[in-house]
């Protein structure tokens, strides 16, 4: 089986022009090195799934992309803006980047509608009526418009995660980061969240997804990145990745989870 | 064996409850009899004291002194108007909150009957006490005030409910909010013009000092809590030094210091009045405690909340103001109200420390009047003072529990 060369090269975008460029990034937590010389380029409309054993630095990587964690060495450029210590740059990158967390992190004291409209109104200064109309459209899209006036605590886990996705989309981000979005969900709710993510990917959203859902990775990913011990071990399209991995560590990992 | 036969026999009824909880073993029985007898004895003595032995005429004669001190009689109308305006304000706010909830669909509109029953249940103690105080007066003034306050409250509630459930242009809502915030200031200046703040006495002083202290210490306490968590070392250490210093000193000592040592620094001519000094000390003192309570609340909000707000592009300031702080404050309502109740009761210390004729001081002074001297009536007056403070504290406590339930809707 021949694989297109470009898909196996982490430093080139698989589709479209580069949107995110991560080059030579190191990250330390005290003495522990969480990321070691990470290089990754993600193109417009590309879906990259990051897999790997726990503690391999997957979450740290995507948390560096919107500066929830500060990288210690190397460069991260998002949509032409380099993440530096300049707070304006950071804020600009955060506005362009949506993030969905494992624990949803919805705001429990606000209704679903207020959760979604908060950032557009506060950050983008969208008028209330407009923001609410947009929020209802997004709730429609994730399939729960009838929950608009409830509080997060009144929803199921799957519904909460769908609200969290809608909340991120409300900022009209150029890229969506997913940090194990289904790991805290009961099995019967995983599908409803994955369905939304599949729809999103098909709609042309650029996505970086940290997940253990191999079915999702196989179906949706343009490229799969396998990480271990803070390093990118192997990159490739799903068909290559699941049928014919080259690295020993990848084979070992896949044999453990498949 | 059928399932019915396996189930342990369930008996109920008062006799079964008593057997299980009061007379289970022989020593249970002994304890029940001894402490039951003791409780009955104390209760009987209390009833006999309150309804037979006590000479409540000392309260009846001195009611005005206890309530408002030496406030001039011809200016009592001012207080009546101020109280009625406060009633209007409370009704207005309650109505607006309710109206907005109904409009947003987060509250249902219950029948008037059940609303009234709910209110009567919540404030039965307060209403009962007000009626008791009214029964002790022999003039028409307090009755007029009570009725005016009630009417103002109802009018405020109706107007507020009507306005709140309607869509209003933004400038109208802004103006309305401004007016509502202005009412307490108007009331204050109205009262202050009749009788300057420095001469406010009796229970009126206790209530004013407590309300002023609560309102003023709140922002200060929150700022101190934020400063203590700040990454700016200087700000952080200033906050820590302040909190630890104030918490380390007894309130009474601080009040005494405010009384005697201020003249060292400030010329007597511009030194603030004793009432202002007392309020200042209460504010600074309670702020230190509140800061620690709020800090606890801030720590109780999961880190993910701030991360989610940050990831959405909210600035650190907005993420604190809109996401973290509201949850933090909600999580520590019981502790906050506890601190406010404490402050309310501590206002009685100002009498002894600063020589202000607050309700407790008045209660002691009146036992020295020629008509009552040497008759040991201090018990009656102390019981009366204690009772009024208890009514206030208990109402605050109950309302705080209700508030907690109300805004706990989104609890996860």
Do B313 and A91 count as a contact with CB atoms less than 8 A apart?
yes
Which two tokens mark B253? 């000592």
Tell if the CB–CB gap between A109 and B326 is shorter than 8 Å.
Answer: yes
Whether A122 sits inside 8 A of B322 (CB atoms) is yes
Chain A residues within 8 A of B313 when measuring between CB atoms: 91, 94-95, 119, 123, 171
> pTM higher than 0.95, yes or no?
no
What tens-digit pLDDT sequence spans chain B (412 residues)?
A: 455 556 666 667 788 888 888 888 888 899 999 999 999 999 999 999 988 888 888 888 888 899 988 888 888 889 899 999 999 999 999 888 888 877 776 666 677 888 888 888 888 898 899 998 988 887 888 899 999 999 999 999 999 888 888 877 878 888 888 988 999 999 999 998 888 888 899 999 999 999 999 999 999 999 999 999 988 999 999 999 999 999 999 999 999 988 887 767 777 777 788 899 999 999 999 999 999 999 999 999 999 999 999 999 999 999 999 999 999 999 999 899 999 999 999 999 998 899 899 999 999 999 888 888 888 888 889 999 999 999 999 999 998 888 888 776 445 4
More confident residue, B166 or A252: A252
| ipTM for the predicted complex | 0.91
Residues belonging to chain A with any Cβ–Cβ distance to chain B shorter than 8 Å: 66, 68, 91, 94-95, 97-99, 101, 103, 105-111, 118-119, 122-123, 149, 151-154, 164, 167-168, 171
Q: What is the pLDDT of residue B4?
A: 57
List pLDDT tens digits, range A20-69: 999 999 999 999 999 999 999 999 999 999 999 988 999 999 999 999 99
Distance from CA of A111 to the nearest CA of B (A): 8
Q: Which residues of A touch B314 (CB under 8 A)?
A: 118-119, 122-123
Which residues of chain B from 314 to 343 reach within 8 Å of chain A, CB to CB? 314-315, 318, 322-323, 326-327, 330
């Amino acid at each position: 089986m021949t694989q297109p060369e470009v898909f196996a090269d982490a430093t080139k975008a698989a589709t479209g022009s580069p949107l995110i460029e991560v080059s030579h990034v190191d990250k330390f937590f005290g003495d522990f090195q969480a990321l070691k010389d990470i290089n990754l380029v993600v193109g417009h409309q590309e879906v990259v799934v990051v897999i790997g054993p726990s503690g391999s630095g997957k979450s740290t990587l995507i948390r560096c992309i919107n500066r929830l964690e500060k990288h210690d060495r190397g460069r991260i450029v998002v949509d032409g803006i380099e993440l530096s210590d300049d707070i304006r740059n950071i804020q600009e990158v955060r506005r362009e980047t949506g993030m969905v967390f494992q624990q949803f992190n919805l705001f429990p004291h606000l209704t679903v509608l207020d959760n979604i409209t908060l950032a557009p109104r506060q950050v983008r200064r969208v008028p209330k009526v407009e923001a609410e109309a947009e929020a209802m459209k997004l709730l429609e899209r994730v399939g729960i418009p009838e929950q608009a006036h409830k509080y997060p605590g009144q929803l199921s886990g799957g519904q909460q995660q769908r609200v969290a996705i809608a909340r991120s989309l409300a900022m009209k981000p150029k890229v969506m980061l997913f940090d194990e979005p289904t790991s805290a969900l009961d099995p019967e709710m995983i599908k409803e969240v994955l369905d939304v993510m599949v729809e999103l990917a098909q709609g042309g959203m650029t996505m970086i997804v940290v997940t253990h859902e191999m079915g999702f990775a196989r179906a949706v990913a343009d490229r799969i990145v396998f990480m271990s011990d803070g390093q990118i071990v192997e990159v490739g399209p799903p068909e290559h990745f699941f049928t014919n991995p080259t690295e020993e560590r990848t084979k070992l990992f896949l044999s453990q989870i498949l | 064996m059928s399932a019915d036969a396996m189930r342990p026999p369930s008996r109920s009824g008062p006799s079964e409850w008593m057997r299980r909880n009061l007379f289970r073993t022989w020593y249970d029985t002994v304890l029940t009899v001894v402490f039951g007898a003791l409780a009955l004895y104390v209760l009987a003595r209390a009833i006999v004291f309150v309804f037979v032995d006590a000479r409540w005429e000392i309260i009846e004669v001195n009611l005005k002194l206890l309530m408002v001190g030496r406030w001039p009689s011809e200016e009592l109308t001012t207080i009546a108007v101020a109280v009625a305006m406060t009633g209007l304000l409370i009704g207005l706010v309650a109505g607006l909150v309710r109206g907005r909830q109904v409009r947003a669909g987060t509250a249902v509109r219950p029948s008037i009957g059940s609303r009234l029953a709910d209110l009567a249940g919540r404030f039965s103690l307060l209403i009962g006490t007000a009626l008791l105080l009214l029964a002790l007066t022999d003039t028409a003034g307090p009755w007029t005030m009570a009725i005016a306050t009630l009417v103002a409250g109802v009018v405020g509630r109706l107007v507020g409910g009507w306005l709140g459930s309607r869509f209003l242009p933004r400038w109208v809502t802004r103006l309305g909010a401004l007016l509502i915030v202005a009412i307490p200031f108007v009331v204050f200046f109205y009262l202050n013009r009749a009788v300057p703040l420095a001469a406010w006495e009796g229970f009126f002083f206790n209530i004013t000092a407590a309300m002023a202290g609560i309102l003023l210490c709140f922002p200060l306490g929150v700022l101190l809590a934020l400063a203590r968590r700040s990454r700016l070392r200087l700000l952080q250490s200033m906050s820590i030094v302040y909190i630890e210093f104030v918490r380390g000193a007894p309130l009474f000592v601080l009040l005494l210091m405010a009384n005697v040592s201020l003249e060292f620094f400030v010329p007597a001519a511009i030194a603030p009045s004793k009432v202002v000094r007392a309020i200042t000390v209460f504010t600074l003192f309670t702020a230190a405690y509140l800061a620690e309570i709020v800090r606890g609340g801030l720590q109780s909000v999961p880190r993910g909340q701030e991360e989610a707000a940050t990831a959405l592009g909210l600035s650190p300031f907005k993420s604190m103001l809109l996401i973290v702080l509201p949850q933090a404050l909600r999580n520590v309502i019981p502790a906050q109200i506890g601190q406010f109740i404490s402050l309310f009761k501590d206002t009685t210390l100002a009498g002894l420390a600063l020589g202000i004729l607050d309700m407790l001081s008045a209660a002691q002074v009146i036992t020295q009047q020629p008509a009552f001297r040497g008759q040991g009536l201090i018990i009656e007056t102390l019981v009366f003072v204690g009772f009024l403070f208890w009514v206030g504290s208990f109402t605050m406590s109950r309302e705080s529990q209700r508030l907690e339930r109300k805004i706990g809707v989104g609890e996860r």
